[in-house]
Amino acid sequence: MVKKISLVLWGVVLFVAWNALILFFLWTRPQSFSDHSHLTEEVIRLAQDAEVELERQKDLLHQIYRYSALWTRRKADEAKKHHLSAAAASAKPSTAAPLSRRSQISPDATLPVVVIACDRSTVRRCLDKLLHYRPSKERFPIIVSQDCGHEETARVIASYGDAIMHIKQPNLSDIPVPTDHRKFQGYYKIARHYRWALSQVFRTFKYQAAILVEDDLEVAPDFFEYFQAIFPHLLADPGLWCISAWNDNGKEQMVDVAHPELLYRTDFFPGLGWLLLSDLWDELEPKWPKAFWDDWMRQPEQRQGRSCIRPEVSRTMTFGRKGVSHGQFFDQYLKFIKLNDRFVPFTQMDLSYLKKEEYDRSFLAQVYGAPELRVEELQGNQRRELGTVRVQYTTRDSFKAFAKALGVMDDLKSGVPRAGYQGIVSFLYRGRRVYLAPPSDWTGYDPSWS
């Protein structure tokens, strides 16, 4: 209570100090009759600037006041964990090397869901589903980070009261961009917002992991179950750097809806509902890009050979045609993604097969043990008796041609195909499992394939 009163007093001090500075400037400024009209205009401008600045300070103070209890609680939790760790260390001496930050995170750690919002009042659809399926407010707090200053969207978010947290990006200014990037101003603002929001989550609120969704995503009934079950595997596997709820080749006719429990490793960063750890943000924040953050994540310098976990059937779908891409990609592809509608009890399943060594041994055996078939034979629905088959590509052009012919997304980012793992893309074609794969002596991605 004392801390909250102190914050309010500081707000009053800031208000008084700002106005005192303005008055001091006006009283001490030399005046002459000739510049009286200019002084009047300057007074008006200063008053307007002061009003804008005071509103901004008031909003920031309001956020600080609102979340001071959260910070106090998190500090108390950290102090308790530190005390327990120190007690354990003193009770049992160890000669082991210091543990990494990742290995010190509890599998039961709080996993906040951060909703990146802007000017879509339809964020209500996203929030309603999250709140409906959320199993625990304590384990999965929801933080809505809003950019753009859109009042109608802000009112929708505020209508949820203390069921969620609402934070606002304070910097709404335009960003200087190269002349040929003027039409991409929105992508620059998105990257700035992500950086601010993630810094709030990991630096201010001190969370150790976070699930990111956009304001135009709807989640599946087992969205939280999915992340909760795979989270311990992310902590234990340094070869993983994210968990994603999205399958880039997740159109209904291309996935096995009868087996929504299927999970895969992928070298392609999917986004669109994904979980990252605080130590990854420590790594990415200093070099965070000014724009196009998702494609930047797909570059070898960021990925560093690491993979993500993704599902056979997506646990998110997008309903947001409106956006910086002007809906073209949505109409051509995104609106056809199948959202899982069956609850899979992942936390009761053995997911150890996702460990790299075991996964590589089993997955590669399946792929290269499958008989090879030509695209023309597949298109003609021939050799059905073979069941699962493999289509082999050897060049960038052959991959793109075969992918387009079979309905798979044919774009490559730094040489990595969407949903691909070791160059292999798994999907259904006319009801049969197909692996679009490079030769078995594949030696790695070629970043010039794009």
- Which amino acids are annotated catalytic? 294
Token pair of 19 as six digits: 């106005």
Instruction: Select from 335, 329, 356 the least CA-distant residue to 411.
Output: 329
Give bridge partners of residue 167 from the DSSP assignment.
145
Rounded Cα distance, 326 and 10, in Å:
44
Q: CA 299 to CA 333: how far, in whole Å?
A: 23
**Residue 107 CB neighbours (<10 A):** 11
SS3 326: coil
CB 267 within 8 A of CB 422: yes
Looking at residue 210, what DSSP letter applies?
E
Is 116 strand, coil or helix? strand
Decide the pairing of beta strands 142-146 and 113-117: parallel
How big, in percent rounded to 5, are the helix, strand and coil portions of the chain? Answer: 50, 15, 35
Evaluate whether 251 touches 141 at the Cβ level (below 8 Å): no
Alpha-carbon dihedral sign for residues 233, 76, 207, 284: negative
Spatial contact of 268 and 424, defined as CB atoms under 8 Å apart: no
Say if CB 386 and CB 380 are below 8 A apart.
no
Q: State which amino acid sits at residue 350.
A: D
* Closest listed residue to residue 266, CA positions, set 292, 236, 297: 297
Distance CA 17, CA 332 (A): 56
CA distance 450 to 434: 23
- 8 Å CB contact between 343 and 222: yes
Instruction: Calculate the alpha carbon distances from 204 to 101, 165, 200, 331 in Å.
Output: 18, 14, 5, 38
- Burial of 117 from C-beta contacts in 10 A (0-12 / 13-18 / 19+): buried
Burial of 176 (0-12, 13-18, 19+ CB in 10 A): exposed
Q: Are 46 and 100 in contact (CB under 8 A)?
A: no
Q: Are 310 and 419 in contact (CB under 8 A)?
A: yes
